[in-house]
């Protein structure tokens, strides 16, 4: 009797290329998720080899698609800016994110507070920040951060500025993270004394500046015409 058997097929390992987890809870979380990623992209655009992304799967163990995490915002220094559908460490020279920011909500507070620090520390993420736009879930302050020192996460000291802003410094980014009294969050560059803006905010500011310039020019033109009507040459004043 001849016994035949079918060759065993190796199962195909599937890596999801989209985060199907629930979206941030509420408008505040969505707005801040958009701002934090976009503002950092704009800021680091002139610099080569700085990859900024958010809500994108990071796979950190080859052939094990269950080993994944999707930070709200993360920055990788020394990595190209190419668009990705996911970030697989073994295809990125094992370069882990240097900076991670999670926007905490009711549904993520336990993971952000208890689980993520253990994972990010193990992976070697240099700085991990948490921000709670509502002020309801993250205590004692709505903005907190830790920095990796000798294999352990050490709390990043905060300070209160004269205008009541809570400020934490990111050595990795070279930026401050500001939490305003109304719980609004912004990145801040101390060297240029400017708040980092998203594309939309930058365009709105440019529009307002353009409008103000046109109004000033129109006002100057009206004044010149009045002076001429009085027989005064405005160029001689």
Determine, yes or no, domain membership for 21.
no
Q: 79: which 2 tokens?
A: 């990595």
The per-residue pLDDT for range 147-201, each reduced to its tens digit, is 999 999 999 999 999 999 999 999 999 999 999 999 999 999 999 999 998 766 6
Q: 62 by DSSP, 3-state: which?
A: coil
Q: Which tokens go with 109? A: 């507070």
Percent of the chain with pLDDT over 70: 81
pLDDT of residue 178: 98
Residues 49 and 138 occupy one common structural domain: yes
Q: Which two tokens stand for residue 139?
A: 């205590």
- Verify that 136 and 35 share a domain, yes or no: yes
Task: Say yes or no to pLDDT of 18 above 80.
Answer: no
Q: Are residues 108 and 223 in the same domain?
A: no
What is the rounded average pLDDT for all residues in the chain? 86
Same domain, 232 and 166: no
Domain for residue 7, yes or no?
no
- Residue closest to 41 by CA, chosen among 169, 200, 210: 200
Task: Give 189-204 pLDDT, tens digit per residue.
Answer: 999 999 998 766 666 6
pLDDT of residue 209: 57
**H or E element: which one contains 152?**
strand 152-155
For residue 105, which phi and psi values (nearest 5 degrees)? -135, 180
Instruction: Express each pLDDT in 62-90 by its tens digit.
Output: 999 999 999 999 999 999 999 999 999 99
Q: Is residue 15 part of a domain?
A: no
This prediction's pTM: 0.78
Q: Which domain, by its residues, includes 71?
A: 27-196
CATH number for 95: 3.90.1570
Tally of domains within the chain: 2
């Amino acid at each position: 009797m001849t016994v035949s058997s079918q060759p065993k097929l190796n199962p195909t390992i599937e890596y999801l290329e989209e985060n199907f987890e629930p979206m941030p809870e509420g408008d505040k979380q969505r707005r801040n998720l958009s701002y934090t990623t976009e503002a950092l992209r704009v800021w680091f655009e002139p610099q080569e080899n700085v990859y900024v992304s958010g809500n994108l799967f990071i796979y950190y163990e080859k052939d094990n698609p269950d080993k994944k995490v999707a930070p709200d915002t993360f920055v990788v220094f020394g990595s190209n800016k190419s668009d990705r559908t996911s970030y697989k460490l073994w295809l990125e020279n094992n370069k882990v994110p240097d900076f991670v920011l999670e926007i905490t909500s009711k549904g993520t507070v336990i993971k952000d507070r208890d689980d993520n620090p253990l994972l990010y520390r193990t992976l070697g993420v240099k700085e991990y920040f948490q921000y709670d736009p509502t002020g309801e879930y993250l205590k004692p302050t709505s903005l907190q951060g830790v920095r990796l020192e000798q294999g352990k996460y050490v709390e990043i000291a905060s300070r209160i500025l004269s205008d009541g802003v809570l400020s934490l410094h990111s050595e990795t980014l070279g930026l401050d993270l500001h939490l305003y009294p109304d719980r609004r969050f912004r990145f801040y560059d101390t060297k240029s004394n400017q708040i980092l803006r998203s594309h939309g905010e930058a365009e709105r500011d440019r529009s307002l500046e353009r409008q103000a310039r046109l109004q000033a020019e129109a006002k100057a033109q009206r004044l010149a015409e009045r002076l001429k009507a009085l027989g005064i040459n405005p160029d001689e004043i």
